[in-house]
Every structure is written in C-alpha cells, then in structure tokens.
Amino acid sequence: MSAVISDSRKSPNSSVKGLYQNLTRRYLRRTKFKIGLVITLVVLVLALVSPWVVPYPDEGAGYVPPEASQREKEPPSLRFFFGTDTRGRDLFSRVIMGVRSAVIQITTVISLSLLIGLLAGVLAAYFKGVVEIILNYLVELFISIPAVIIALVLRLALGPGLMTVIASLVTTWWSWYARITYVYARSVMEMDYVTLARLSGLSPLKIMTRHVMRNVLTPVLVQAVTDMGSVLLEASTINFLGLGLPLNSPEWGVIMLEGLSVLEIAPWISAYPGFFLLVTALGFSLVGDTLREEIDPRLRRRWRLWF
Amino acid sequence: MPLSLNYLTKRIVWIFLVIIGVVVFSYTAIIISPGDPAVKWAGNPRGPNASLAIELARKELGLDKPPLIQVLKFVADVFTGNIGLSIAYKIPVFEVILRRLVATLELLLISYLIAIPLGVFLGIESALHRNGKLDTFLQSLGTVLANTPTFWVGAWLFLTLILLGAYPYGRVDPKIATATGFHPITGFYLIDALVEGNLIVFVNILSKIISPAIAIAIYPIGVLVRLTRALVSDALLEDYIRASVAWGVSRSVIIWRYALKAITPGLVQVIGLAFSYSLVDAMAVEYVVFGREGLGSLLIDSLNYGDFRLAVGLIIIVAVFYLLVNTLTDIIQALIDPKVRL
Amino acid sequence: MSVFAKNFLIEEISEIVFEFSDEDRVFLTSLSLLSSSGESILLSLHTQLKQVYLFFRSSREEIFKSSVITSCGDIGVRRSVFLVVSIFLVVLIATGFIAYYHVWGPQTIKQRVVVYAYNDRITGIDPSVEDDTGLVIIGLVYEQLLHYNPLTKELKPALAVAWNSSEDGTEWVFRLREGVVFHDGTLLNATAVKLSIERARDVYRETGRGAGYIWDAVTDIEVLDEYTVKIKLEYPQRLDLLVAAAYAAYIFSPKALLSSGASSYLDKKLEEWFNGGNEAGTGPYTIEYYRPDSEVRLRKFDKWWGWSLVNNSQAPDYVIIKILPDPQSQYNGLISGEIDIASSVPRDYVSLLLSKGFRTYNLTTYHNYLMFFNVRRYPTNITGFRKAIACSLNLDEAVRLAMKGFALKGSGIIPHGFPGFTEGLYYQCGLSEARQYLNESGVQTPVRIEILYQVDYEETRIFAEALQSRLRDLNIELVLNPQPWSQLKEIAKGVWENPENTPHLVVAEWWPTIPSPYDYLYTMFHSDSKEWNYAGYENEEFEDFIDRAWELEGTNYSGALSLYREAQEILFNDVAGINLWDEVRPFIYNTRVELLPECMNPLYMYVIYFQYVRVGA
C-alpha cells in the first residue's frame, strides 16, 4: 500500500455512506447494544439534570435539614421513594444525585488516563532507547499496584476528597492505556508508510499525530468505553472503604458505607446505591463490549480484563 | 525445561526494581502527609515531660533526618527484612502483615475453588448450546455477574445470614476454639483444624468462610463463563477436533479432554489476572462487611490509627503479591503450553 | 476514503480470506494489493466476499452443531466428573449454611470460657509504661500494692497488707503480702516493688513516656526486709492513693529483666519484650496469647493468692478479650452468643437487648466530655461571650439526645463519684441571660465561630449540631469541624503557638490516671501542660490553688479537697471549660455470666475483674 497521507476531509462517495449506514444498522439490531445504550443515555441525562429532577436536591447534596432527625432510617414510602438514610435525608435524591458524581469521576479519570497514557505510549514507541526504558518501567510499576492501595497512600498524603479518588485511579489506569498504545504504536511504527514519512522529512509531531495516533486511537478508545464500568466500580470501592470522598457526599460507595452500620434495620440504604452501581456499570460494559466485537472481530486477541 | 535461568533472573531483578520503586513512592507520599506520627509513637504522652517523649520518638522513627536520607534508609531497611514496629500495636509489622495475608489468601483460595469449576463448567455448557436459550441466558448472567459490586453482594449475603440467626463475623468462634484447644499453626485455619483433627472448629470455620467466599467468587464466575465460552467455541473449530470427530472419538473425550486442554493456557492467564483483581475485592469486603481480619483490616487500621508503617507494609505486600502472581501465571503457562518458551 | 474505513475493509477481507484454502488465499491477497488503485474494486470485492462468507458461516454452524453436539448423545464419563464436582460444591455450600445452626453442644465444653468484646485495639502491655487501652489486660494480669474504689472510698489491700505513714506524710512504709508468687514462679518481695516503682518513675524521667510522673515526689525506696518497703517523698502526698493508680503502679517480677535480655531496667529491650506479649505479673490471669489487633486470650492462674479469699468456684478458666471496634458487630455477637460481655453496643439497642433477656451493668465512669474555649482568640477571649455560650447550653437535653440518657450532666470539671467532685456548678441561665451577656460583651453579631470535635463520635456530633441550632438564636454561626482524633489533637494544641488558627471550641474526652483531682485540673488547665490544655488557659491564682492542694493531699486531705473545689469555682467563673457530661456506660452481658458489683471499678476503666465473675454452664 502506498503511504496513506490521505485527507479525511475529502467528500465520501455514496458507497462509503452506505457502508457507514450499514454499520450503524448492525449495531442497533443487537439487543445487547440497545440495552447498554439505553442505560448509558439515561445515566448521562440524569447526570446533567439530576438537581432539577430530584424532589429534595439540597438533601441530595448532603445538607441535613433540622427536622430530618425526626425521620431517620424510614423505609420507602410515597414521600421518600427509597426511604431515608441515617440522618433522615431522602435516599432517592441522594442516589440520583450520585449519578452525577459517578459520571464526573468516570469521565475525569478516563480522559486524564487516556491523555497521559496515549502520550506516554506514543512517545515510548517513537523515541526508542532511554525514554522507552523509563516509560516501560513506570508502566510496570504502576500496573503492579492496585488503585485501592494508591488511594490509601494518597489518602494519608492528601486527605479525603475527590482528588484522592481521581488521582489514584488515574495513576493506575494511565499505565494500562500506555501499554496498549505502546504495543499498537510499535507495530504501526514498523509499517512502511511511516518509514517513508520519516524519510521524507515530515516533522516527528506530525508523524506521531497523523499516522501513529490515528491508527492507535480506535482500539484504545473502544477499550476506554469498556473500561468505564470497571472504573466506576473501582471508584466506588475506594469510596466505600472511606479512602475517597467524605461521608455525606452524594456518591454510591459512600452511601453504602453509611448504610452498612444499620444494615439490619435499614437495608434499603445500602441496597439501592449498589443496584444503581450494577446497572450503570452493566450499561457501559455492554456498549463497550459490542463496540469491541465490531472493531476487533475474530483475530486472536488477549482477553482484556477490565482492571 | 521450558523455563530458562535467564528468564528467572530477569524476572527477579525486575521484581526487585519494582519493589524499590513502590517503596520510594509510598514512603515519599507518606512523608509529605500531614500529622505527626511521633506523637502516636510516643503513646500520646502526658505530664511535664511530654515534649521530651515526642522528641525521642521523633529520633527513634528517624524523622529528624532529611527526607532523602529517610527514604534511602527505609529502602535499605525493607530489604534487610525490617519494616519496624507498628505504631498502633507496637509489635513487628511483618508479623501482623503475615498473619493477615494468610487470612485473605485462604479466603481467596476458597473463592476460586468455587469459582473456577463452576465458571468453566457453565462456560463449556454455554458453548455447546451456542446461540441457544441456555447460551444467551448464561452469557447475560455472566455479564451481569462480572459487573456486580462485590461489597453489595456481600452485604446482602451478610444480611440474609444475620436474619437467619447465623453469626458470619470473624474467622472462628473464640469460645469453640478455646474449648476445643484450637491452635493455629500455619494461619490457614481450615488446614490447621483438619491437621488437628478438630472437626467442630473446622465446620465452624467453614461456615464463616463460605459467604464471603461466595461474594468474592461472583466476579470470576462471570468472567470465566464468558471467557470459557469464547475459548471453547474457538477451540472446537480447530481441524484436529474435526478429525477426532471423524475418527469416532467419543464426544465427552473431545470436549472434556482435548478442548479443555487447548483452552487451559488462555484460562490460566485470565485467572491470574482475575486473582490479582480479586485481592482488592476481598480486601474491600472481608473486614468492612464480614469482620474478618485480613489485608482489608490492615488497610482500615492503618488509616484509622495513622500508622504509616502498616500502610507501607501493606503496599509492599500487595505489590509483591501482584508481581508474584504474574510471574507464576507465566511459569504455569510455560509449563503447560509447549509453544511458550520463557 | 479515510484510513479507518480502508483499514476496516482490508481487515474484513483478510479475515474472510483466512477461511479459504491456500490457493484462493493467494489470489485474493493479490487482489487486495490492487486496492490502492481502485476503491470501487475494493468495495465490490468486499460486498461479494461478505455474501460468500456469510453463507459459509451459517452452514459451518450447522456442521459444527451436527458433528460435535449430536454425536454420541449419552452422558460421558468425564461429564459426570464435572457433575460430581458441582454437586460437591453444592454440598460444601450447604454444609456451610447448615453449620450455622449451633453445632456445638454443652458436652464439648469442659471449661468455662468467657468472651469480652472490647472496642479498641490494645496499645501495649508494659506495666510501667502503658497508659492507654492496655489497662484492660494489665488490670487482670498485674496487681498494685493497693486497690481503691472511689465510690465506696474503700482502700483494699492487694499486694500490700498493711501501711502507714509518718507524721509529716513524707515517709510511707508498706508491708507486703507473703506467699505471693509471680507467673514466672518467683516470689514477690520488696525488691520487686522497688524495681517496679523506680522503673515507672525513671522511664518517665528519661523518656517522657508513660504515666510515671505520678512517682515524681519519690526520692528513695528502701528495702527494710524481704516483705517491707519504705518510700521517702520529697513533699507530703497521699501515697496510699497513688499506689492504687490505674497506670504505672503495677508490680512485675525482676526475672523479666533476665528473660528479655535487658541490660538494665531502663533498657528498651524490656519494653519491647512486654509489648511482644510477655508478662511477669501476679494477677489471677496469665496471657496465653497476645494479638493486640484482634484478640487476647487469658488463662486462669491457679496459684493466685486471692482464689481462697474470693471464694468463686465458677470463675472463668479462659477469658478472651476480643477487639471489635464496631458496635454493631458487638451487638450481633451478643445475639448469636459468640460474645458474652459487650463493652459498647449502639446505645439505641440497649433497651432492645434488655427486652431480649440480656442484662446490663451500668457503670458510672470517670470518662467525661469537656468543651474547651479558646481563650486566646476573638471572640472567645471575652469572658462575657463565653458566659453567653455557656448559658445557651442545655445539658439535660444534650445528655438525652447525644448520649441517649447514658450520662450524668457535668458539674465542675471533676466527674461524679471522683474525689473532688463538686455539686452545683451548673450554669443556671437561659437564652435571655445569654443575650444579656452577649450584649454586655460588646461582640458584634452576626459572628462566626468554629467547633472542633472527633469525627467518629456520634455523640459529639449530635451535641455540636444541637449547639449550632441553639447559637443560631443568638445570631452566632457555629461552623462544624469534625476531625479524626490524631488531627484533632494536632489542631487543638496549636492554641498556644497559633491561637488565631485554632478553633474556638474543642470537645475532648478524658479519663483519669490517679485518684486525684490534680490529674484533671493540672493536665487540662495548667499552663505548663501545653499538650493537653486546649483552652490556652493561664491563670496564676488557679495554678496556685491546685499546686497547693496537690502538696496538701499528703497531710490534710480534706483541706486539699476544698482547695480543689475552689479551683473549680475559679474555672466556673472564668468559663474556661465546661464538663458536658460524665458517661454512664452500659456493659451488656448474657445470662450465662453474672457480673457482681465488685467486677468493675470506674477508676480502672474497662477492666472487668473476672475473678469475681460467675460463669454458668
């Protein structure tokens, strides 16, 4: 194949359009994808509008109104759909506002780790030698430590808060993406058209972005979408252990922790957030799974666990 | 011998370097953390000589030296096997960690003992009834299970048992243990009870280990069902399978001997990864929900008591664990799969 | 055509091609190489191949199914293996669940075992140095010379049977009990007593650790004979009360020096030996194993001198002190029977437990919660302002809400039942007086102040929130700052160096070491005690009072007590700190055990004297 320094802004001819239509039709026909898409869309919409949709938005955010001590730990009723929590706040509001917290955590973590990971992987593949060795070492180092442990360290160092959760997750996940990128990028670097581009004097930056990055981006992005579910689960685990967001935050892991001490008398406090966690993670996972099946159909690949 | 000395030495050196990195990283993070461990080490002294106690504690902990020296000294200490005394308990950190590690390991092993046969079996059945109702059901179940938060399932199991009148806390009932003279030797309580021939304690320990084990097993079951189905479907399409069918080899032999053998390398790899992941899962669930001592309680305790020595010990142990599991998986694969040569 | 689409097509084609035989493969691969020149060729090739491929795939599914699935349809040998495995797992799980239902019958229990749930980890068990939670163990494994119960004001002989002091109170002679044997086999004598006291005193003098400051006045200990010891003091003191202190007053065997390999009694090795789980005491129980993070097992010491006096044939043979920080798990343990005595169940559950047939021992402890005012920062540096806050407090309501009734409203700094307790120091004023004080103080409202309290104590949180809503009526905004205990301490003691950044109010708890009001008043309000004086309070008159009282204890005890009373009145008028409440702790126990009144003593908090506990079958 000749060097593909093609311009994607060229107008696609009608058969290509037909191809894309074909693709989308293929996705939407699958039940798996449909369910996943529906869940994801609902989640994203809720994340945006929850403060306006929820009956008690200030309670959702963590504020305890004075009369709340009268209605602590009440079972689900018409007034409080999911019941009340240990301080008397409406659980429904808290859980729905938790969607926002979940989405913020996921998107921040994924985007930051993608950014750093892609950068690191491409740099390591392009500039061989010392850079490669150092980056490889760092990747191996951070892959060996689970996010929860890093969260412990950061919690001791930085204290509780959103920063701790995000920082610990990013520290683990960037290495994962860096490794994937590195593997792909290395194989792309072998390709003839890249060598041609280098010889023809194209600047390293242009080569890296146009050729290497473009080819590498798709599988990594698909991986990222699949990972969203597990990022959410890990973030909730960190919060559940008390290493991340403080008590009273609208976050599912935190609410479950609060509900744990009153599990026998008020099981709904821990039940609902966990269920939402399951469903959200499932949604992302289904979407990512379908995408991956399409992009990476039958070639022998290593089963990638979401870490 | 598919394992070369070259590989082993490279691996050991690598683990060494990674541990150094981990130690430096964690110790640096702790140095910059707020709070003064010297006060805790001195036992929160009272009276007129209190400040003297704190001064001495600071010297003992080595906190008066410049940070770089502290880090280097600490790395040296770790490699001579001396992580020091726990600030919270005043007993050697190593002792505490070892005991807790064994507890968590026992739990994980029992979990995987349940998860692996079940997951693989269901996966194979799913592959055999490919695209049928059983298959779709099992695959959807698998996806759901793989995305379930472990502590949620754990909480439900725990609640059910409490409501049924059982007491799933802890690893063993202390009264039964004392009355029957139970003395843990290895730390794997199940094995210890069997070795001592103590059936009552054995049943008691078993009863307490089952529910957290099930909670932790949920994730690997989900993963294995899906994985095995994919691997088995691929494996059964191989030419040699088709040849065996043509030869008239019995169906069960084809499935359970040839196909299973073919997928084992892939399975081992994934089980290794899942095992490392389950360590974190187990840590989250075992203490907070089930009150068992283990690495999870180490995590919570080091946080609550501000004990940085425990925290660092925990970090090192977990990193070593991950690295060892990875290495072990590679070695097992090398032993099983003739194509892999390390 | 974009690179993505092209690559995608190429991939699909190559994948389809993979399914074909070798000759076809060559042909098709060479075709794909032409793709650079004709995109339309690529597209049509792709479409046609796809159709062929789909046809093959569907028919291959059929082949797949027919060949493997339907041949030899019987259940093979290997399949049954897996069935057996699954059945085994089901049986395993079933056993697990069935086993919950009390497998253990009374005939297997030959010994009396009691499980006592304690809610904090053990911080160490060095008899001379330990000054925290280790008391739970030390109180059973070691003994002091005398034993004091402030409630009954009874001073009982323990290791000493007789004692007297000189006229001026600076020389005390103690006669020891004969025939007392340490757990390691050696006999108790005066040398052991001398060693124990000197160690406690000197470890404190050298390293500042422990509670050895109680022996500060001891100048010389003389061994008169094997069972008589004379202690000389620098100034007169109630040494008989001091030797009954909760900490630093325990006698251990000198053989411990040998066993630990310590070169002298100040050697760190001895401390490490003790904290490693070894002991050298005389008490009714010995340590069988020591795990400060999870449980400690004690075994009855048959050679204890006191068994004949106690006359309790039903004393437990084994005591297991289980560390369970979570009140909920203590509650569950009681219900299931795994725990016999629980030190802290959730207060809401107490009535529930009582209705289920459990019993409670309500111990009036000397554990109290105080609120300190930062007297070095505006506006709490103005006495009138502090008075206003004090008036807005409603301690009855606080006790009811925060402690669910399990506390006594505080009066003065010293708790109920403790020497020096002063009744009647309540701020008998309400909101209107509060407003008056506020106006007189000249503080402009609205004003914002901060309260610091421990994050994991629900009772302090409830108190802080109640105070918050009360202060709102005075147009004072109270900002809540919950912190973990270690942070709290760091922040609060900053009142001396950095008062402007230290919160205005600090809620902290206290329990005593020695049965003297000096313990409280000195540590919390003397300006030399900068570690624990969270108010930043400095008052020469007050300090003079308590210092004099401390010295007077040895010669004129009642005179000393009245001085302490006056000192508390000074604090009351200055509103430096308020004793919110004295905790009444319910120890819940099941019908298997019987806790007699002598089992517990508020001076030795959390220690249950198991030699008096009766265990049924």
pLDDT at C99 over 80: no
Burial C525-554 (b: 16+ CB within 10 A, else e): bbeebbbbbbbbbbbeebbebbbebbbbbb
Kindly identify which residue of chain B lies nearest to residue A146, measuring between CA atoms.
B280
Determine phi and psi for A90, rounding to 5 degrees. Answer: -70, 120
What are the residues whose beta carbons fall under 8 Å from the beta carbon of B238, sequence distance 6 or more?
B262
CA distance B180 to chain C (A): 7
Report pLDDT for C441.
86
Q: Is the pLDDT of residue C234 over 80?
A: yes
| Segment 443-482 of chain C within 8 Å of chain A by CB | 465, 469
Q: How many CB atoms lie within 10 A of CB C155?
A: 17
Element (H, E) at C174: strand C171-176
DSSP category for residue B294: S
Q: If residue C162 lies in a helix (H) or strand (E), which one and from where to where?
A: strand C160-165
Q: Which of B26, B146, B152 sits opposite A256 (nearest CB)?
A: B152
C314-341 pLDDT tens trace: 999 999 999 998 888 899 889 888 899 9
In A, minimum Cα distance to C40 occurs at: A15
User: Minimal Cα distance from C100: which residue of B?
Assistant: B166
Output the pLDDT for position A8: 37
- Residue pair A153/B28 in contact (Cβ under 8 Å)? The answer is no
Model confidence at A69: pLDDT above 90: no
One CATH from 1.10.3720.10, 3.30.70.20, 3.40.50.300, 3.40.140.10 for A95-306: 1.10.3720.10
Residue type, B296: G
What residue type is A224 in one-letter code? A
Tokens, residue C154: 């009874």
Report the alpha-carbon distance of residue C99 to residue C102 in Å, rounded: 7
pLDDT tens, C482-525?
887 777 888 888 888 888 889 999 999 888 878 889 888 988 99
Mutation target to probe the C interface, by most C beta carbons within 10 A, among A261, A292, A300 is A261
Which residue among A137, A156, A267 places its CB closest to the CB of B29? Answer: A156
Q: Which of A303, A304, A306 to mutate to test the interface with B (most CBs of B within 10 A)?
A: A303
Task: Determine whether the interchain pair B318/A289 forms a contact, defined as Cβ–Cβ distance below 8 Å.
Answer: no
Distance in angstroms (rounded) separating the CA atoms of residues C317 and C311 = 15
Of C265, C247, C248, give the one whose Cα is nearest residue C256. Answer: C265
C-alpha C156/C-alpha C177 separation (Å) is 13
Cis peptide before A76 (omega within 30 of 0): no
Alpha carbons C361 and C336: distance in angstroms, whole number: 20
Flag whether residue C1 sits within 8 Å of chain A, measured between CB atoms. yes
Whether the predicted interface score ipTM is above 0.90:
no
Whether A35 has its CB under 8 Å from any CB of chain B: the answer is: no
Interface of A with B in 265-284 (CB under 8 A): 267, 270-271, 274-275, 277-278, 281-282
Q: Which two tokens stand for residue C39?
A: 């995109």
C81 pLDDT above the threshold of 80: no
Cβ neighbour number for residue B334 with a 10 Å cutoff: 19
Contact A261 C5 (CB under 8 A): no
Of the partner residues C76, C86, C294, the one whose CB lies closest to the CB of residue B251: C76
The parts of chain B modelled with pLDDT lower than 50 are none
Cα separation of C254 and C267, whole Å? 13
Neighbours of chain B (3+ CB pairs under 8 A): A, C
Q: What is the pLDDT of residue B175?
A: 84
The answer on pLDDT for A257 being more than 70 is yes
Full-model pTM: 0.82
pLDDT (average), residues A52-61? 84
CA of B119 to nearest chain C CA: how many angstroms apart?
10
Give the phi and the psi of residue A146 in degrees, each rounded to 5.
-70, 155
Beta bridge partners, C287, equal C298
Q: Does C222 touch chain A (CB under 8 A)?
A: no
Taking the Cβ of residue A51 and every Cβ of chain B, the question of whether any pair is shorter than 8 Å is answered with no
Measured N-to-C along each axis, helices C3-18 and C39-64 cross at an angle, to the nearest 10 degrees, of 40
- Site from B33, B36, B49, B224 to mutate, C interface, most C CB atoms within 10 angstroms: B49
Determine if the peptide bond prior to C446 is cis (ω within 30°): yes
Q: Quote the distance between the C-alpha of residue C124 and its chain's center.
A: 12
Chain B residues near residue A296 by CB distance under 8 angstroms: none
Cα Rg, chain B, nearest whole Å: 24
pLDDT at C59 over 90: no
What is the C-alpha to C-alpha distance for residues A243 and A239, in angstroms, rounded to an integer?
6
Tokens coding C73: 């349809």
Flag if B274 and A305 touch (Cβ within 8 Å).
yes
Tell the residue number behind the tokens 């005939």, with chain if given. C107
* Cβ distance of A242 and B151 shorter than 8 Å: no
The pLDDT, as a whole number, for residue C115 is: 94
Longest dimension (CA), chain B: 92
Closest residue in A to C8 (Cα–Cα): A295
Smallest CA–CA distance, residue A291 to chain C, in Å, is 13
> A274 CA to chain C: closest CA distance, Å?
21
Chain C residues in contact with A19 by the CB 8 A cut-off are 5, 43
Which tokens sit at C433? 């007086």
CA separation for the pair A116, A179 (Å, rounded): 11
Binding-face residues of C in 97-116 toward B, CB within 8 A:
97, 99-101, 103-104, 108-111, 113, 115
Q: How far apart are CA C521 and CA C549, in angstroms?
A: 11
Q: Count of B–C CB contacts within 8 Å?
A: 224
Whether the CA torsion C491, C121, A160, C452 is positive or negative: it is negative
Burial (CB < 10 A; 0-12, 13-18, 19+), residue C402, is buried
CA angle C215, C220, C221 (to 5 degrees): 90
Chains that touch A (3 or more CB pairs under 8 A): B, C
Which structure tokens are listed for C531? 């570690």
Least confident among A80-89, C45-54, C312-321, C474-483: C45-54
**Helix/strand/coil for C440:** helix
- Mean pLDDT rounded to a whole number for chain A: 80
For residue C289, what are the β-bridge partners?
C297
Q: What is the pLDDT of residue A24?
A: 64
- The pLDDT > 90 percentage for chain C reads 38
Q: Please spell the DSSP secondary structure of C189-256, one letter per residue.
A: -HHHHHHHHHHHHHHHHHH--SSGGGGTTEEEEEEEETTEEEEEESS---HHHHTT-SSS-----THH
Q: What is the nearest CA distance from A140 to chain C, expressed in angstroms? A: 31
Measure C455 CA to nearest chain B CA, in Å.
11
Domain ranges, ordered by start, for chain A: 95-306
- A303 and B18 in contact by Cβ < 8 A? no
Query: What pLDDT, on the 0 to 100 scale, is given for residue C107?
Result: 42
Query: Token pair of B274, please?
Result: 């899942």
- What is the pLDDT, as a whole number, of residue B172? 87
More reliable by pLDDT, B312 or A166 = A166
A287 touches chain B (CB under 8 A): no
Shortest CA gap C5–chain A (Å): 8
Q: How confident is the model at residue A6 (pLDDT cuts 50, 70, 90)?
A: very low
Between A44-48, A66-70, B174-178, C78-82, the lowest mean confidence (pLDDT) is in C78-82
Contact yes or no for B144 and A241 at CB 8 A: no
Q: Give the closest of A6, A264, A297 to C2, CB-based.
A: A6
Beta strands in C498-606 (DSSP E): 505-510, 577-589, 593-594
C428 CB-contact burial (10 Å; exposed 0-12 / middle 13-18 / buried 19+)? exposed
Residue C273, classified by CB atoms within 10 Å of its CB into exposed (0-12), middle (13-18) or buried (19+), is buried
* Number of CB atoms found within 10 A of residue B58's CB: 18
On whether any CB of chain A is under 8 Å from the CB of C397, the answer is: no
| Distance, CA of B214 to CA of B153 (rounded, Å) | 9
In whole angstroms, what separates CA C177 from the centre of its chain?
35
Question: Which of A257, A222, A263 has the alpha carbon at shortest distance from A236?
Answer: A257
Taking CA–CA distances from B207, the nearest residue in chain C reads C96
The structure tokens listed for A70 are: 């009268």
Q: Which residues of chain B make contact with C67, given a CB cutoff of 8 A? A: 242, 245
pLDDT of residue C319: 94
Q: Is C440 on the interface with B (CB under 8 A)?
A: no
pLDDT, residue C68, reads 45
Q: Which residues, including other chains, have CB under 8 Å from residue B130's CB and lie 6 or more apart?
A: B229, B233, C61, C64, C65
Alpha-helical segments (H) within chain A: 14-29, 31-53, 57-61, 91-126, 130-144, 147-158, 162-190, 192-199, 204-206, 214-240, 252-260, 268-295
3-class secondary-structure state, position C325: coil
Task: Give B229 or C554, the one with higher predicted confidence.
Answer: B229
The residue-averaged pLDDT of C85-110 equals: 61
What pLDDT shows up at residue C50?
60
Choose from A16, A67, A222 for mutation: most chain C CBs within 10 A. A16
Question: Are C490 and C443 within 8 A, CB to CB?
Answer: no
Q: Sorting pLDDT into bands at 50, 70 and 90, what band is C22? A: low
pLDDT in tens, C341-367: 999 998 888 988 999 999 999 998 999
- Give yes or no for residue A128 having a pLDDT over 70: yes
User: A240 — contact with chain B (CB < 8 Å)?
Assistant: yes
Q: How far, in Å, CA of B77 to CA of A170, rounded?
A: 30
Token couple for C8: 């995608």
